[in-house]
Structure 1
Amino acid sequence: MRLSSPIYKLKRQAKLAARDSGIPLHAALDQLAQKEGYKSWSHLSSATSPSGHARNLLKQLQPGDLVLIAARPGQGKTLFGLELALQANQSGWQSHFFTLEYTPADVLNRITQLGRKPEEISSSFNLDCSDEICASYVLDQLHHTQQKALVVIDYLQLLDQKRKNPELTEQLSELKDFTRNTGHIILMISQVHRNFDLAAKPLPDLSDIRLPNSVDLTTFTKTCFLHKGEIEFRAVNQSQ
């Protein structure tokens, strides 16, 4: 369910309503949440938190999906990708988090930010921070995976930073073939071009993805865009 406004704006509306009507803030928050289609503010908060969004998105994924998760810096795309991997792991999946951006200590710190204790995470959650990460490296690591797997790769623009690696289009095609043949799911985190900050739209879309070279983004089966607490998840038109 999409909110009429971002969370921070809804909170501001509730504060103004509480002041104008002389009711307690918690009552104003509950009233506003009910207008948004939720039982209470706590219900709204739970459903729209990173864990709530992750649970909702996982329910909509299908075997063989190749998903793009994209946002501007500071919007929580990496944290959301990590939450998805952890949620999938809790649901009995084998999950993998490959990152070219962060160190193991960085990722463990983010796991703590999500309210998780690293030592309590299942051994079927796999963290890989190798400098060699690219499509072929990822597939080599998944070669013997028999259990249903969800894979997060952080992030798209870094996959071809080494000249020895194939171009992004080739790597995405390789990943797409893998998901189609195995039924595993891969989620790719991506940057959004800075020009989006000046755009008159609430959320980025495929046209806002920052790319050094031309890449066929319709290779992805689904997209997930984040901005200021809003999340939009949709299927990609493969005929584009």
Structure 2
Amino acid sequence: MKLSAPLFLLKRRAKLIARNNNVPLHKALDQIAREEGFAQWSLLSSHVAALSLSEMLLSRLDYGDLLLVAGRPGHGKTTLGLQLLIDAARYGRKAIFFTLELTERQARTHIRSLEKDTPGIGDSLDIVTSDEICANFIIRHLSGSPRGSIVVVDYLQLLDQQRNKPELSEQITALGDFASKTGVIVAFISQVDRSFDPERKRLPDIQDIRLPNFVDLTLFTKTCFLHNGKAQIHGVA
């Protein structure tokens, strides 16, 4: 059973009901759960816990978040980014993929392989493959996008590869400010440094991000690290 909206929006709706109707929050949460087809909120929460990683990630994102999705090559970070966009599109949200790595044909082929029970849903995704992609380009393209739009940028380390583009830290700062002001959610696919050793720790973390050029990683609000089929979602302190 699919929810009518991501979990964080359902929680916001329950808080509004509790405030407007002067009822305890747990009763408002149970009311929302019943509207979604569950007897109580705890059952709805259990359902969310069993969702795919992309749906779980979508439910954890707030308006204005700057998300980092990172892993070594071949561990699913691009797949997760595209699946996140597909899930957003299923909820009727605007979904845009900016890629400096894939051609549009490659991206469309990958998306079609992920569509599962909703073939054609990926056709609503906006795919941008220009070599000019950078913070200013992205911000111009997103002008007028509704709050809650989901953007995936592929990938972080390529944004300032051309010398005529601003420094990476400057670009991330600009995109963070834009996301905060507009409520658009921007996710960056990122490489993990070769020095990451899975023998020493199960998953990479923010210390393992490959940074050929400096960027203040505390500018990101959430992270998701992947390795060998495992994942962990964190807020950035």
Do the two structures share a fold, i.e. TM-score over 0.5? yes
Q: Counterparts of 2:132 and 2:118 in 1: how far apart (Å)?
A: 24
Q: Secondary structure at the match of 1:68?
A: strand
CA distance in 2 between counterparts of 1:74 and 1:179 reads: 29
Letter in 2 for 1:234: H
Q: 2: distance between equivalents of 1:91 and 1:47?
A: 18
**Aligned counterpart, 2:125:** 125
Q: Deviations over 1:106-143 (max 9, x none)?
A: 11121122145997226642111111111111111001
**Matched positions, count:** 191
SS at match of 1:194: coil
Give me the TM-score of the superposition, normalised by structure 2: 0.75
1:175 corresponds to which letter in structure 2?
A: L
Moved over 2 A (4+): 115-119, 121-124
* Contact preservation (8 Å) 1:82, 1:111: yes
Matched, 1:223 2:223: yes
Letter of the structure 2 residue corresponding to residue 107 of structure 1: A
Q: Counterpart of 2:79 in structure 1: which amino acid?
A: L
Instruction: Give the conservation status (yes or no) of the 8 Å contact 2:223–2:235.
Output: yes
Report the Cα offset of residue 160 of structure 1: 0.1
Distance 1:124 1:146 in 2: 15
* Partner amino acid, structure 2, of 1:180: S
Cα 1:123/1:229, change in 2 over 3 Å:
closer
Query: 1:85-110: CA deviations, max 9, x gaps?
Result: 11001111101011000001111121
| Aligned twin of 1:172 | 172
- CA positional deviation for 1:199: 5.1
Identity of aligned residues (%): 47
Residue number in structure 1 paired with 2:8: none
Unaligned runs of 5+ in 2: 1-46
- 1:181 deviates by 0.2
Counterparts of 1:206 and 1:175, CA distance in 2: 19
Q: Could you say what the CA RMSD is over the residues aligned between the two structures, in angstroms?
A: 2.2
Question: Any conservation in 2 of the 1:112–1:118 contact (CA below 8 Å)?
Answer: no
1:5-27 CA distances to partner (integer Å, 9 max, x unpaired)? xxxxxxxxxxxxxxxxxxxxxxx
Q: Which residue of 2 aligns with 1:190?
A: 190
CA distance in structure 1 between the partners assigned to 2:103 and 2:184 by the alignment: 25
Determine if the alignment matches structure 1 residue 94 to structure 2 residue 80. Answer: no
Counterpart amino acid of residue 202 in structure 2: P
Q: Which runs of 5+ in 1 are unaligned?
A: 1-43
TM superposition shift of 1:148: 3.1
Amino acid paired to 1:159: L
Cα offset, 1:144, TM superposition? 2.2
CA contact 2:86–2:115 (8 Å) conserved in 1: no
CA distance in 1 between counterparts of 2:193 and 2:147 reads: 36
**Structure 1 residue 201 and structure 2 residue 201: aligned?**
yes
Residue number in structure 1 paired with 2:143: 143
